Amino acid sequence: MTGVVAHEYTGETLPAWSLPNDAVDRIALPSTWPERVTREWAWGESTGQGARVCILDSGVEPGHPLVGGLEEAVTISLGEDDEVLVEEDTEGDVSGHGTACAGIVRALAPDCALSSVRVLGSNFTGSGGVLLAGLRYAVEQGYDVINMSLSTTKKPFAAVLHELADSAYFRRTVLVASAHNMPVESYPWRFSSVISVGSHEDESPFTFFYNPNPPVEFFGRGVNVDVAWLEGRTIRVSGNSFATPHLSGICALILAKHPELTPFQVKSVLYLTSSNVGGAR
Amino acid sequence: MSEPRDVRAAVAAGVVGSSESFRELLSAIVTVARSIFGAKASSILLLDEETGELVFEAVVGEGEESLLGVRFPAGRGIAGWVLATRTSLILEDVKTDPRFAGDVAEDTGFVPSGLMAAPLLHEERALGVLEVLDRPERSHFSLQEMDLLGLFANQAAIAVDLLLRARRAERLLEEGGGDLEVVARLAEIVDGLEEGQRTAGMRLLRDLAGTLGASGL
């Protein structure tokens, strides 16, 4: 099962797609699923320990009491010839938004490893090119979860974003992306390979709903949320940006307990444990 | 020399209205937004791409007198974030955000305590930001308000797009002296003719264009 065709955007090789009889045993699942998937089975006792979560955003303030330490913090920029520059991030957070997202993930999955990939400059001149480069970098790092509380409306970037989202999906990285709450086309949340998140009004961080009417697939807590902000402070915010890291945190809990799960399986577990499906169990 | 689309814009401006009427529309939008949300103020900020600044284009309520036309770098504050990420954001007690209070509020002379902001998106571009400031403290923010804000922003974005087109057209008419006005007037007349007359009028214009050296018409 060796492939030779390098993918244009992701550099992946394409394996053979068939399954001969003698290969069936090799794809046996490492663990059996229970008859009923419950929250207890999905993430009971999990603290996120072992799961690696990336915040693709405006940076994360290091050492914020609600965030704690970071595994890695880099900033992405484009050089004079549009070459991608990945440098250690010494600026922290340029807006507060990334820190808010990181704090939410930390609250839900206290022992997960958090990293920051900053795709916005200190003057917010985050271009679509930097966003793509940042996502590509994050996918290459093999994080378990990438939180993406932002989107782009630029259609020329959509095709590459789509490839990157699929690439994450095939490499077992769960990409959790904020849905737009306005009637506009934006990406990557509309792609089916990501977990897209809108907001509900409930105050419980573990309340989340499956939406049988996509493109938005899940609703997480996104209204009147107290979050970490700049200079060690907290602030009360609302928006899909903050619903997204709630689902990212839950994904981290699930993957810490069941690291073998693929993004498809994680999404299935989310569905089965949604508050409007089996969440009460 | 003007691009064909500039001529079309100039023509359109003569037909659909002046930039002043679109400014009035923006003003009406922020007035309704402020009223619906029971807020102290509401404003529309436009991105000036040439200078990289956000400009207060319509303001109602607190700051109405002082903010109109005020500019600040688009890289700053909550509005800058909303513009760059094309994402709506609702913050309460923004005074605790040091960047917001320190930079923007200092520039504008007005420090709100709560803020809702949505990007003005038209096609693939982010044209500016709609802000609603200081909703009543009694009310917990609700999703209905977030959706409503998005709808207002959508409406405002359409108005802003029209305003920008009208401004561009007006500038062209000014720069082009009477030349473009003649073109605009001709197009308007031909457009308003009955079908048969229109065909004849178009033939006449094609012949004229050919005489002046245009090919492929």
pLDDT tens digits for range B197-215: 888 888 888 888 888 887 6
Instruction: Please check whether residue A171 is in contact with residue A192, taking contact to mean a CB–CB distance below 8 angstroms.
Output: no
pLDDT tens digits for range B3-31: 565 666 666 655 555 677 788 889 999 99
Q: For chain B, how many structural domains are there in total?
A: 2
Same domain, B200 and B118: no
Same domain, B93 and B196: no
The larger pLDDT score, comparing residue B169 to residue A133, is at A133
Burial category of A253 from C-beta neighbours within 10 Å (exposed 0-12, middle 13-18, buried 19 and up): buried
Say yes or no to pLDDT of A97 above 70.
Answer: yes
Same domain, B194 and B90: no
Q: Tell me the mean pLDDT in the region A78-86.
A: 89
- What mean pLDDT value characterizes chain A? 90
pLDDT of residue A29: 77
Distances (CA, A) of B174 to B47, B167, B180: 23, 10, 9
Q: Tell me the mean pLDDT in the region A36-62.
A: 96
The larger pLDDT score, comparing residue A113 to residue A58, is at A113
Assign A38 a pLDDT band (cuts: 50, 70, 90): very high
Q: Which residues lie below 8 Å from residue A266, measured CB to CB, with a gap of 6+?
A: A174, A195, A251, A254, A255
Q: Tell me the mean pLDDT in the region A155-182.
A: 93
Say yes or no to pLDDT of A125 above 80.
Answer: no
pLDDT tens digits for range B179-194: 667 776 777 677 778 8
The larger pLDDT score, comparing residue A234 to residue A123, is at A234
Output the DSSP codes for chain A. Answer: -----B-TTT-PBPPP----GGGTGGG--SSPPPSS--HHHHHTT---TT-EEEEEES---TT-TTT---SEEEEEEE-TTS-EEEEE--S--SSSHHHHHHHHHHHHSTTSEEEEEE-S-TT----HHHHHHHHHHHHHTT-SEEEE---B--HHHHHHHHHHHHHHHHTT-EEEEEPPSSSS--BTTTSTTSEEEEEE--S-TT--EE-SSSSS-EEEE-SSEEEE-GGG-EEEEESHHHHHHHHHHHHHHHHHH-TT--HHHHHHHHHHHSTTTTTT-
Same domain, B59 and B141: yes
B124 touching A, CB under 8 A? yes
Domains and CATH numbers, chain A: 46-273 (3.40.50.200)
pTM (predicted TM-score): 0.83
Residues on chain A touching B98 (C-beta within 8 angstroms) = 230-231, 233
Same domain, B199 and B148: no
Residues on chain A touching B125 (C-beta within 8 angstroms) = 153
pLDDT of residue B120: 93
Same domain, B125 and B188: no
Same domain, B186 and B165: no
Which residue reads 């444990």 in tokens?
A273
Q: Do B86 and A233 touch (CB under 8 A)?
A: no
pLDDT of residue B1: 45
pLDDT of residue A127: 72
Same domain, B196 and B100: no
- Shortest distance between the Cα of B76 and any Cα of chain A, in A, equals 6
Residue B117: inside a domain, yes or no? yes
- What mean pLDDT value characterizes chain B? 79
| Total count of residues recorded for chain B | 217
Q: pLDDT over 90 for what percent of chain A?
A: 67
Say yes or no to pLDDT of B99 above 60.
Answer: no
Q: Tell me the mean pLDDT in the region B160-174.
A: 80
- CATH number of the domain that residue B133 is part of: 3.30.450.40
Nearest C-alpha neighbor of A189 from the set A215, A211, A212: A215
The larger pLDDT score, comparing residue B143 to residue A258, is at A258
Q: Do B141 and A223 touch (CB under 8 A)?
A: yes
Which residue reads 């109602």 in tokens?
B60
Same domain, B188 and B151: no
Domain span at residue B87 reads 17-173
Assign A195 a pLDDT band (cuts: 50, 70, 90): very high
Same domain, B146 and B197: no
Which one-letter DSSP state was computed for residue B40?
S
Which one-letter DSSP state was computed for residue B212?
T
Assign A124 a pLDDT band (cuts: 50, 70, 90): low
Assign A14 a pLDDT band (cuts: 50, 70, 90): low
Task: Give CA–CA dist B85/A154, Å, rounded.
Answer: 12
Nearest C-alpha neighbor of A267 from the set A185, A175, A201, A205: A175
Q: Tell me the mean pLDDT in the region A225-230.
A: 92
B18 touching A, CB under 8 A? no
Closest CA in chain A for residue B152: A182
pLDDT of residue A21: 84
Assign A226 a pLDDT band (cuts: 50, 70, 90): very high
Instruction: Please check whether residue B58 is in contact with residue B27, taking contact to mean a CB–CB distance below 8 angstroms.
Output: yes
